[in-house]
Chains A and B, each alone.
Chain A
Amino acid sequence: MARRGDRLPSPATVPVARLSAVVKARLELERHLRVCANGPLGPQFRFTVTHARVLIQMLSELDSPLSAALRARAAGVVGALRLERAVPLLRRIALDEKDDIQTRLNAVTSLILLHPRGIARDVAKLLESTDAHLRATVYVAAVRSDDARLRKLAEERYAKEKDRTVLRHVALRAPWLQSVSQTRDDS
């Protein structure tokens, strides 16, 4: 498609060796966070302290499609990596009804995995969300957590849940919540 008269500088790449360790880590993450799951597993990706630092940074960047997509993916990884420094950002994302739904779904899962102080209050608020997919995800994550308070909270709220999408989604993934409502107090 090039036309006579088009001129562009020759393709230039900056040797990786010239880049700082943090930028190298950033580029590794940009390649790693979105892959196809076909074929044999590649070598294990080892998250370093530098990767962790970049993941936290990613949670606050939104100025391009790539940044927004990486933010969503980072929100899903920081919980499993137990990066407690991510909690304030995750909390902000999870509770913001105007934020991207996929990013929120990942953020609530990570937030419950990280289980910070005040999580019960966050979960209570999240279970009031207008988004059925978000509420369903919170129920499942809460009932699978090690925290008896969260499980009890999920149980109480689930008993009052009316949305059929939430009820069905949760019943398939956390049957205990469904079955516990089949008994009642007879003391």
Chain B
Amino acid sequence: MQKSERELRGADSATAAEERVRRFPHLLGGSRAFRSLSPERRIAHLQGESASRQRRMLSVKPAKPVRAQPFRIELKLPSGARKADLVRLEVRLPSGKTQALEHAPSPAELGARLIRLEGFRSGSAGELYVSSRVYFEDGSTVSDATLASVFSPNPDQLVVTPRAWLVSGRAGRVEYDWDTDEFHCRAYGSITNGSTGSRTFRTCRVRVTDGGVSGTLISEFAFAVGPFTVQPGASAYRTIDTWYPRGGSVWDKFNQRWDLTVRFTYEADGGAQVSDAAVYRPMSTVPLNPIKTTDFTAGQTTAERNAVAIAAELLEDRDVTLFGPNWQILSNQADKDRFGIIDIDWASNYWDFDEAQDMYEQISGPEQDRLDMFVPLGFAYTADVPADKRNVGGFSTENGPYPKDGAPRRSACLVLLDENDQEFFGVAVAHELCHYLGLGHVESTDNLMHRNGGTTGHKLTWQQWDTIRQHGMMKWLAPDI
């Protein structure tokens, strides 16, 4: 996205497939063969269009649901002798509202090998994402996910989301550009054309208000987009960036930590319009040095970047973000050879992380007030580690030092690379960072600080937020906040 003239206050471009896949956890991992497919092919797989020989289990009925009309989800159970005992389902509506459901198949459903789940309806058009996992009585599982489009009888609709989101729906983060002294509100928009004719869009109008969608007008402007055309029954995925320079009223309000509503209206030839709004909020930030402990493949590097993006989204639920990660790798080959795979030993009935602590002591990322997070390729457990303790995903100093050289052997956290499940990798990153910022484990299974990052959710309570915001690593986002 190029800003050709500074006085322009918005820009729009097609959303890259690499960014789109981050919205769909099922596409962020899996077998090595699957994750090496291009992002476009993985999205096509989700839409059921790929040539994959894998039998698809999950479908939405009708295949093209309509906004405000009920739809159902169907699961065709695999044939064979296996008996399904439990179905887990996660449904994310175009608005971002997400629900996890469990279902015990009835004898009739098992006999028909078909489960129909009713009672769904979407208030807006856009992408409908469903993932499922069936547990069988023999201990095996089968997983699937699907992506459908909810159409609008309107016939056109824009759905704006402040950024990609995977596990939470919340206000968008305002970003600050220190070089140009501007706040940025960035968004993803999906425009669905439910009409019979194609639509060509050329302009986006922006209205910034406070106090909700009908609040006081703070600023209004328009900028040229595309032009791009959306065919009948199709969707376009756009990335929007608007910026607000110092001295303007929007800059002043954000600088005072106000929430503002930004309404985007795309205008097509012939007068058709689509419009949607999102709320933006200034956030605190944790400057981060993610440090690879050895050379990674391109796929492993992508997994690391995805994980940090997912961690940022989780923390943004509590108005904390990871500002401008400073991507690092150990520079010395001898260090890479030593710390690429970290040894974990067992001493005094506990894990012994001596090697990781040696690394913390000897190696630091740039800047004293940036949190170091090491990412090794693997762990090597010594023979003394019991079988039930070979399950470490990461570990961290609790309430780590600020500045870092206050206690060098405690000056970082560490998260194991996980290409296979990058959403979990992101949860682990957010979890370990929060340890460093002062949080301990909790028992609630829907909390990020549960021992495994939360099984039914990844929330942080306000009390936890109040703890981490007091840590020295936490910075305010903009000049006066």
Contact = CB atoms under 8 A, between A and B. Distances in A.
A99 B30 CA distance: 11
B298 interface: no
Contacts of B422: 65
Given A34-B452, A76-B390, A98 B396 contact: no
Contacts of A4: 123
Contacts of A100: 31-32, 419-420
A153 interface: no
B26 A65 contact: yes
A7 to B, nearest CB: 4
B349 A169 contact: no
Interface in A153-186: 164-165, 168-169, 172-173
Given A1-B169, A14-B102, A169-B340, A69 B32 contact: no
Contacts of B3: none
A76 B396 CA distance: 22
Interface stretch (B8-16, B180-188, B250-258, B424-432): B424-432
A26 B337 contact: no
Contacts of B418: 69, 102
Contacts of A140: 380
Interface in B107-136: 117-124, 131, 133, 135-136
A164 B100 CA distance: 49
A7 B119 contact: yes
A169 B421 contact: no
B144 interface: yes
A164 B337 contact: yes
A12 B118 CA distance: 13
Given A57-B138, A67-B143, A69-B424, A80 B390 contact: yes
Interface string A35-70: 111110110111100100110010001111111110
Interface stretch (B85-93, B192-200, B225-233): B85-93
Given A62-B30, A164-B333, A133 B377 contact: yes
A80 B133 CA distance: 28
Contacts of B67: 5
A144 interface: yes
Nearest to A167: B337
B387 A77 contact: yes
A73 interface: yes
A63 B377 contact: no
A68 B93 contact: no
B33 interface: yes
B142 interface: yes
A145 B141 CA distance: 35
Q: Chain B CB within 10 Å — which of A65, A77, A101 has the most?
A: A65
Given A36-B428, A69-B421, A169-B337, A9 B119 contact: yes
Nearest to A4: B123
A46 to B, nearest CB: 8
Interface size class of B (residues with CB under 8 A): 35 or more
A130 interface: no
Given A1-B96, A69-B424, A80-B386, A62 B31 contact: yes
B387 A81 contact: yes
A124 interface: no
Given A5-B68, A23-B86, A77-B390, A72 B420 contact: yes
Contacts of A1: 95-97, 161, 169-170
Assign chain A's interface to a size class. Answer: 35 or more
Nearest to B452: A35
Contact of A8 (B119, B390, B423): B119
A110 to B, nearest CB: 10
B388 interface: yes
B179 to A, nearest CB: 31
Contacts of B33: 98
Most chain B beta-carbon contacts within 10 A, residue among A57, A102, A103, A144: A102
A111 interface: no
Interface in B297-345: 333-334, 336-338, 340-341, 343
A32 B123 contact: no
B119 A168 contact: no
B142 to A, nearest CB: 6
B31 A54 contact: no
A83 B419 CA distance: 26
With most chain A CB atoms within 10 A of its CB, the pick from B30, B144, B170, B395 is: B30
B386 A64 contact: no
B451 interface: yes
Contacts of A72: 420
B124 to A, nearest CB: 5
Nearest to B335: A168
Contacts of A117: none
B462 interface: no
B97 A9 contact: no
Nearest to A15: B104
A114 interface: no
A121 interface: no
A22 B101 contact: no
A63 B451 contact: no
Interface in B373-427: 377-378, 380-381, 383, 385-396, 398, 417-424
A187 interface: no
B137 interface: yes
13 contacts: A2-B123, A3-B97, A3-B124, A5-B68, A8-B120, A22-B138, A31-B455, A62-B34, A76-B381, A98-B33, A133-B378, A169-B337, A169-B338
